[in-house]
């Protein structure tokens, strides 16, 4: 009887054994690489809440124990300090592979996208786990097609400053499809568009975290270039819903996961101003090289095949990250004796 879900229907044997009363199916053992980071920690919360066992692998390059500390006493939760560039042996049912130096100031340092992805695919192959790659809208580069559909092959500079991220993720997608076709690994690919929310890294230079932190600190918001470039901003809980729907669904992808609401950086600054401080100011700075001019997901495929779409607009989502940012900025200031 221990091989039966509580629904009474025989299901695939899983590595973690017993059936929790409230799950209606077998409990899964799930690895989340990069689970101490911004997106990863929210995903871990969701998986723990629904009753599964979660093992986080993270080297704390940009992630923080603080993001997971509320789970430390939970017997269904484990945290391993490990660099995914090195092999690791585990017995698991699913792998959400998020580990990656994910912002412009960090990503140039690390071969994680290639070696880390290869190791996690090797692990998935050995134990028969399902593998989900968190790829990125950056695979479209500075797109010549707008909005971007999954069928678009992208416009990426192979030798520019952003290239190790863009090309690293493109290589990770290639490896993922090779393991799928060549070794029969069950894979899923998400192409994530700009995402924001509580627990975002404070100082990794992304635009939403920069503007919010600057407005709270009463500093001018730094607009790069003329501020007319666009992005589409997704609240983190919408993304987490999409990742889980993709993992549990029957389709490999790739799937765009993003909010189609498109804003210029000047418009974003206006929203931050309205939400945090009507007296906030802006300051123009030179833009970075190869900055994509426009970005907006076409999410028709995810709507149709995953029955997923984002629910939270920028105006509703931004206030949800403000108290977290205020607290962390306050703690930082206290730490400095201010």
Residue positions annotated with a catalytic role: 165
For 154, left (φ over 0), alpha (ψ -120 to 50), or beta?
left
Rule CB under 6 A: say whether 272 interacts with ligand UDP.
no
Verify binding: residue 288, ligand UDP, rule CB under 6 A. yes
The distance of closest approach from Cβ of residue 20 to ligand NAD in the complex, given in angstroms and rounded to an integer, is 27
CB of 95 to ligand NAD, least distance (A): 13
Burial per residue of 291-314, b for 16 or more beta-carbon CB atoms within 10 angstroms, e otherwise: ebebbbbbbebbeeebebebebeb
Contact residues for ligand NAD (CB under 6 A)? 33-34, 36-40, 57-63, 83-85, 98-102, 110, 112, 116, 134, 136, 192, 194-195, 201
**What whole-number distance in Å separates Cα of residue 76 and Cα of residue 156?**
41
Per-residue x/- marks for ligand UDP, 302-331, CB under 6 A? ------------------------------
The DSSP code sequence of 10-54 is B----TT-PPPTTTSSPPPEEEEETTTSHHHHHHHHHHHHTT-EE
Considering the rule CB under 6 A, would residue 134 count as an interface residue with ligand UDP? no
User: Residue 210 binds which one of ligand NAD, ligand UDP, none, with CB within 5 to 8 A depending on kind?
Assistant: ligand UDP
Q: Which two tokens stand for residue 100?
A: 């990656």
The nearer residue to ligand NAD, 51 or 205, going by C-beta atoms, is: 205
60 binds, among ligand NAD, ligand UDP, none (CB under 5 to 8 A by kind): ligand NAD
Residues in the chain: 338
- 40 makes contact, choosing from ligand UDP, ligand NAD, none, with CB < 5 to 8 Å by partner type, with ligand NAD
Question: Strand pairing of 255-257 and 282-285?
Answer: unpaired
Provide the 8-state DSSP code for 148: B
Structure tokens at 289: 């090289």
Near ligand UDP by CB under 6 A: residue from 112, 135, 194, 195 = 194
CB under 5 to 8 A by kind: which of ligand UDP, ligand NAD, none does 116 bind? ligand NAD
Element (H, E) at 73: none
Stretch that binds ligand UDP, among 59-67, 283-291, 320-328, 330-338 (CB under 6 A): 283-291
Q: Is 59 in the site for ligand UDP (CB under 6 A)?
A: no
Q: Does 203 bind ligand UDP (CB under 6 A)?
A: no
> CA 150 to CA 299: how far, in whole Å?
9
- What is the residue whose two structure tokens read 């389709």? 251
Structure tokens of 21?
Answer: 């009363």
Tell the smallest beta-carbon distance from residue 280 to ligand NAD (Å). Answer: 22
Answer yes or no whether residue 125 interacts with ligand UDP by CB under 6 A. yes
Task: Tell whether residue 24 is a contact of ligand UDP (CB under 6 A).
Answer: no
Residue from 206, 209, 187, 88 nearest 132 by CA: 187
Residue 17 — left, alpha, or beta (φ > 0 → left; ψ -120 to 50 → alpha)?
left
**Which residues of the shown chain bind ligand UDP in the complex (CB under 6 A)?**
87-89, 104, 118-119, 122-123, 125-126, 194, 205-207, 210, 222-224, 229, 231, 265, 287-288, 291
């Amino acid at each position: 009887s221990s091989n039966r879900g509580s629904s009474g229907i025989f299901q695939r044997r899983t590595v973690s054994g017993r059936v929790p009363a409230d799950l209606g199916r077998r409990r899964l053992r799930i690895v989340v690489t990069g689970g101490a980071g911004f997106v990863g920690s929210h995903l871990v919360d969701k998986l723990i809440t629904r009753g599964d066992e979660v093992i986080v692998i993270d080297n704390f390059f940009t992630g923080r124990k603080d993001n997971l500390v509320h789970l430390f006493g939970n017997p269904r939760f484990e945290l391993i300090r490990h660099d995914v560039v090195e092999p690791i042996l585990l017995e698991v049912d699913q792998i959400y592979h998020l580990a990656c130096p994910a912002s412009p100031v960090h990503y140039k340092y690390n071969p994680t996208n290639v070696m880390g992805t290869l190791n996690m695919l090797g692990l998935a192959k050995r134990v028969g786990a399902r593998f989900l790659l968190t790829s990125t809208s950056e695979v479209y580069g500075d797109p010549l097609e707008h909005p971007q559909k999954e069928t678009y092959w992208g416009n990426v500079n192979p030798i520019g400053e952003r290239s190790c991220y863009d090309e690293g993720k493109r290589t990770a997608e290639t490896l993922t499809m090779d393991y799928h076709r060549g070794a029969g690994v069950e894979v899923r690919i998400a192409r994530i568009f700009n995402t924001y929310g509580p627990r975002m890294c404070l100082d990794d230079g992304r635009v939403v975290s920069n503007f919010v932190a600057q407005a709270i600190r009463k500093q001018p918001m730094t607009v790069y270039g003329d501020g007319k470039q666009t992005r589409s901003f997704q609240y983190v809980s919408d993304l987490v819903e999409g990742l889980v729907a993709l993992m549990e669904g029957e389709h490999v992808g790739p799937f765009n996961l993003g909010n189609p609401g498109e804003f210029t950086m000047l418009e974003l600054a206006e929203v931050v101003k309205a939400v945090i401080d009507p007296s906030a100011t802006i300051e123009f700075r030179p833009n970075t090289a190869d900055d994509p001019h426009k970005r907006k997901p076409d999410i028709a495929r995810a709507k149709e095949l995953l029955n997923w779409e984002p629910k939270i607009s920028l105006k509703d989502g931004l206030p949800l990250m403000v108290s977290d940012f205020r607290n962390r900025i306050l703690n930082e200031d206290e730490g400095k004796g201010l």
